[in-house]
């Protein structure tokens, strides 16, 4: 498999450190609110990478963190008058619901920053002992200039960066030996969570978290480190500096970064009114459609999110599901079991579709071309499989489509639809749960119905529902 490596700026042949095993670290969200549609892209892309590697027989250790201590989390906690952990735990739970809707599988490990503080303190101690870090008034800084390879991922020149800081006047900057030095540990402020350390009570810098968690759950060297391209600098650059300085080893062999997501050709922002959470999108579209839409473009390409493009993705996904549903009917009604000679010849050609799919995925995870291979298979199915086909032939075609879709995390099989009476019964159960203040059960029913394509709308006249 060839992967475009941000570090080398070209496609490199992927060779894992340990044969048959792959360690992947993906930077996860800061959990202070519902995840937005931009967060969904790396989740979907790198979940698909994991699925493909597992389909090829690799044992994948997939680690993706939750940043559960951060200024935004603290701000929201203070606004609500609760502990920061209340906010982070609430939105970790909500994030996992959205991930489930997007068919993003749970990571092998989902470490939380707050649970790894002792190891972060140990890495800072190591960096101080090696003269890569220094403490001033309770703040610990990393000596950026001392790390000779700084800028190797982002291709930024450290002297150019230094000139950009010439006129910068920021509180606390005068403490630094160099304006480029970044924070490893910051002292506590009033109303903030804190931990004890040799440098006083405080909390770790954001960049340090991923270095420590990837080391603990994968090792000193990661096979693949991934995330959005907005993280290349300074986050990933700083991770490399502190990890390689502390561990005396290469931090990551391959770096993968997905392109930006725009909304109607504009950068997503709350001020423009085009900021959408995954939860909001799910009220309009089945999240399987969003996953299919995201994978219809190459992961490194910028992606424009618009109703027209999502509707097109919805129609395309429906073509696949319709074909699979038709094949299912043919299998169940088949008059003959075994394939005849003509069908056997067609079955032998199915491997060609899988090869096209694999070739696309092997070429830097080209999911767009992989989906094209699936559509060729769908066309083959619609042309060659009919009510006179054998069960064996129809099943082979059905299994191939479902298998390839599953590698992409696309559910090709249509789940049995709920009957109207069943929906009404569940809605009544939800209403009863709300009256009894069992809001957890009420939310569970709503989410369960949503997963089955049933959208609820609470109105003054009662609950209305529709199929997505």
Task: Give 173's pLDDT tier (boundaries 50, 70, 90).
Answer: low
Q: Give the residue carrying structure tokens 């792959």.
A: 22
Task: Give 171's pLDDT tier (boundaries 50, 70, 90).
Answer: very low
Distance CA 269, CA 39 (A): 13
Q: What is the pLDDT of residues 379-396, one digit of tens each?
A: 999 999 999 999 999 999
- The domain at 278-407 falls in which architecture? Orthogonal Bundle (1.10)
- Backbone φ and ψ for 301, nearest 5 degrees, come out as -80, 145
Q: For the whole prediction, is pTM greater than 0.85?
A: yes
Residue 196's alpha-carbon distances to 68, 189, 271, 420, in angstroms, are 18, 13, 39, 57
Residue 36's alpha-carbon distances to 33, 134, 280, in angstroms, are 9, 37, 9
Homologous superfamily, domain 2-258: HUPs (3.40.50.620)
Q: What is the pLDDT of residues 233-285, one digit of tens each?
A: 999 999 999 999 999 999 999 999 999 999 999 988 878 888 899 999 999 99
Q: What percent of the chain stands above pLDDT 70?
A: 96
Per the structure block, which two tokens stand in for 226?
């991934």
pLDDT exceeds 80 at position 163: no
Distance CA 332, CA 334 (A): 6
Name beta bridge partners: 226. Answer: 26, 256
- pLDDT number for residue 353: 98
Q: What is the CA radius of gyration of the chain?
A: 25
Contact assessment for residue 228 and residue 257, using Cβ atoms and an 8 Å cutoff: yes
Contact assessment for residue 39 and residue 29, using Cβ atoms and an 8 Å cutoff: yes
- pLDDT number for residue 419: 63
pLDDT exceeds 90 at position 458: no
Q: Give the residue carrying structure tokens 């006179």.
A: 388
- The residue ranges of every structural domain in the chain are 2-258, 278-407, 420-467
- pLDDT number for residue 167: 42
Identical fold, 2-258 and 278-407: no
Mean of per-residue pLDDT scores for the chain: 93
Q: What is the pLDDT of residues 203-218, one digit of tens each?
A: 999 999 999 999 999 9
Residue 372's alpha-carbon distances to 54, 255, 320, 360, in angstroms, are 21, 26, 11, 9
Average pLDDT over residues 41-52: 98
Is residue 148 helix, strand or coil? coil
Q: What percent of the chain stands above pLDDT 90?
A: 82
Residue 67's alpha-carbon distances to 29, 204, 364, in angstroms, are 6, 11, 28
């Amino acid at each position: 498999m060839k992967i475009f490596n941000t570090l080398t700026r070209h496609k490199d042949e992927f060779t894992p450190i340990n044969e048959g095993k792959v360690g992947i670290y993906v930077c996860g969200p800061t959990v202070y609110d519902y995840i937005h549609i931009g967060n969904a892209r790396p989740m979907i892309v790198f979940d698909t990478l994991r699925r493909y590697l597992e389909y090829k027989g690799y044992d994948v250790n997939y680690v993706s963190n939750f940043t559960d201590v951060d200024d935004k989390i603290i701000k929201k906690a203070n606004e609500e008058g609760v502990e920061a952990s209340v906010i982070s735990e609430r939105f970790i739970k909500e994030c996992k619901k959205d991930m489930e809707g997007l068919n993003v599988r749970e990571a092998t490990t989902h470490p939380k920053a707050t649970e790894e503080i002792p190891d972060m303190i140990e890495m800072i101690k190591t960096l101080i002992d090696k003269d890569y870090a220094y403490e001033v008034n309770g703040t610990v800084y990393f000596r950026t200039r001392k790390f000779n390879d700084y800028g190797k991922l982002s291709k930024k020149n450290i002297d150019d960066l230094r000139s950009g800081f010439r006129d910068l006047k920021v509180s606390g900057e005068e403490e630094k030996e160099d304006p480029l030095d970044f924070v490893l540990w910051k002292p506590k402020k009033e109303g903030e969570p804190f931990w004890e350390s040799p440098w006083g009570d405080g909390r770790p810098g954001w960049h340090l978290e991923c270095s420590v968690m990837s080391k603990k759950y994968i090792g000193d060297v990661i096979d693949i480190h991934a995330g959005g391209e907005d993280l290349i600098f300074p986050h990933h650059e700083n991770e490399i500096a502190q990890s390689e300085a502390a561990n005396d080893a290469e931090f990551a062999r391959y770096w993968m970064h997905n392109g930006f997501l725009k909304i109607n050709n504009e950068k997503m922002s709350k001020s423009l009114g085009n900021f959408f959470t995954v939860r909001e999108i799910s009220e309009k579209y089945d999240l399987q459609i969003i996953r299919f839409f995201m994978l219809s473009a190459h992961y490194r390409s910028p992606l424009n999110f618009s109703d027209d493009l999502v509707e097109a993705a919805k129609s395309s996904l429906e073509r696949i599901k319709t074909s699979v549903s038709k094949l299912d009917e043919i299998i169940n009604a088949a008059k003959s079991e075994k394939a005849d000679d003509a069908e056997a010849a067609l079955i032998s050609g199915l491997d060609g579709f899988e090869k096209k799919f694999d070739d696309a995925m092997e070429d830097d995870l080209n999911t767009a071309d992989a989906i094209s291979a699936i559509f060729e298979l769908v066309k083959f199915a619609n042309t060659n499989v009919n009510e006179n086909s054998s069960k064996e032939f129809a099943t082979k075609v059905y299994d191939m489509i479902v298998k390839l879709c599953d590698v992409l995390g696309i559910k090709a099989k249509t789940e049995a639809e709920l009957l109207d009476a069943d929906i009404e019964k569940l809605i009544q159960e939800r209403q009863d749960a709300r009256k009894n203040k069992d809001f957890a059960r009420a939310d569970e029913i709503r989410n369960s119905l949503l997963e089955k394509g049933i959208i609820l709308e609470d109105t003054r006249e009662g609950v209305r529902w529709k199929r997505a």
